[in-house]
Structure 1
């Protein structure tokens, strides 16, 4: 082989190695905010295009599944000793419902404070607003109806032992014990955490289950208010006759809905959208 051929072959091998190295760096590179925004925006567009029946069934399934965020802590509370460390374990059980819902791609209202909002922020028209309102209405109604069903089943059947049903009631009482504005503030933080979870999930890969458990465990451990998981608790008390529907609506539903929406939309969707606006405008100007 001549010297020219050796140099040419060496140059080809060097270029190939550089390309391989660049691919490995790109694969290992953490996605930036613009990439995360685009992934979530596309997911939001897909959700906004789904049929009413598909959304309703998915939302109803999610509400039923969230029953496990009462069932698992209740079973644990009924069997664990009354020790300070037991509360941390109970809080971990709260995450099970969220884990199934998110990995199963079921429609959960607090997730929808992020995904459909990004398409709305990109296309700020009445038509886009109407599509988001339609999605929110279907998902929220489906979630809440399902939580009433699962809570009624837990309250009126002997599927669980008396000590477990007693634990259900004890856990549920904590959901409605705070004044209106305290619940709003707690719900803001819960909406913030859940929306942050949705924002960072595309960057987590195989670590997604750990992130879901971590973020939702924080919601429970800090005693925050989540509109769907908390509705299972509150409806359990309604079903057993401990509180009335009015107490649920004014003492839990209204303040929690306000707080979750404020936390998810304002603190995550709008602020995270704001950080990518300059890049989006730069792409539009360059024709990308």
Structure 2
């Protein structure tokens, strides 16, 4: 009987072995390095480049509010139809990620891995610079698009009411709920970012799956939510103080905790554990054997 001591399938041609190698999914270390490299490139971008990309992303994220409002206003009432309307939440994420615009919650993983790999004051400074520019740009974009959607004669009254209902639904949460749901949201976005490099051909479906689940779970997201909640502010139903203290502050901290301190930290720890210290060669780190050296 022909057996293989190494446990491999016998009688494979060289070409078949190459096909097997190609079919293997990338190791976690490979995904880590891809995302770390992307993050390092983002940290090197100029403030102007980050700002304009982040502002564009904030404006584009208004598509999520727009799509959900349009679907809610045109579908019959009922929980079953709300499930369908939740697909509208995916619109902004799809447009922003596929257009490679700067989204703050993506950077809670992408830009953090270079800092975890090489913690230094310079890298921490670069991270804070990127976070502050991208966050402000995103918020300026979403708040601006909410103002335009409310004050320009674009939508009918039924759609306007649907926009208000979306914001009211978010503000049913207190600050602690905003924070807790923000953790889940940040973790889910980081999971999405981690998955995409290994399944680039299914990128669109990964984005839809993750963001649709976020919408079904009513998890809070600092960028999309800022458009939804600021719409209430401009409509006169909510003071800016509640926007910042009840929604924005707790949600932002939750997104950072979920994306950076949970997912990124655990993923980085996994890679560090797998790599371990370099092994010493046979002739390194050992005292010479007197029996071998004696002639």
Equivalent runs, 1:143-162 vs 2, <5 Å: 143-162=138-157
1:57 aligned partner: 52
RMSD: 1.4
Equivalent runs, 1:262-281 vs 2, <5 Å: 262-281=257-276
1:73 aligned counterpart, secondary structure = helix
Which consecutive residues of structure 1, in runs of 5 or more, have no partner in the other structure? 1-16
In our comparison, the structure showing a higher alpha carbon Rg is 2
1:168 aligned counterpart, secondary structure = helix
1:94 aligned partner: 89
Query: Does residue 208 of the first structure (1) align with residue 199 of the second (2)?
Result: no
Q: Output the CA distance in 2 between the equivalents of 1:44 and 1:167.
A: 37
1:217 aligned partner: 212
Q: Output the CA distance in 2 between the equivalents of 1:159 and 1:284.
A: 65
How many pairs were matched up?
270
2:125 aligned counterpart, secondary structure = helix
Q: Output the CA distance in 2 between the equivalents of 1:101 and 1:23.
A: 36
Query: Does residue 32 of the first structure (1) align with residue 27 of the second (2)?
Result: yes
Q: How big is each residue's C-alpha offset from its partner over 1:234-268, in whole Å with a ceiling of 9 and x where there is no partner? A: 11011111111111000100000110000001221
Equivalent runs, 1:12-161 vs 2, <5 Å: 18-161=13-156
Shift of 1:282: 4.4
2:180 aligned partner: 185
TM-score (norm 1): 0.91
Shift of 1:284: 8.8
Taking a change above 3 Å as real, the CA distance of residues 120 and 170 of structure 1, as seen in their structure-2 partners, is same
Shift of 1:18: 3.7
Name the stretch that deviates more: 192-201 or 275-284. 275-284
Shift of 1:82: 0.6
Query: Does residue 173 of the first structure (1) align with residue 129 of the second (2)?
Result: no
Query: Does residue 233 of the first structure (1) align with residue 233 of the second (2)?
Result: no
Whichever structure has more helix as a proportion of its residues is 1
1:11 aligned partner: none
1:12 aligned partner: none
Q: Output the CA distance in 1 between the equivalents of 2:193 and 2:79.
A: 31
1:242 aligned counterpart, secondary structure = coil
TM-score (norm 2): 0.89
Which consecutive residues of structure 2, in runs of 5 or more, have no partner in the other structure? 1-11, 282-295
1:158 aligned counterpart, secondary structure = coil
Shift of 1:279: 3.5
1:195 aligned partner: 190
1:66 aligned counterpart, secondary structure = helix
Taking a change above 3 Å as real, the CA distance of residues 177 and 278 of structure 1, as seen in their structure-2 partners, is same
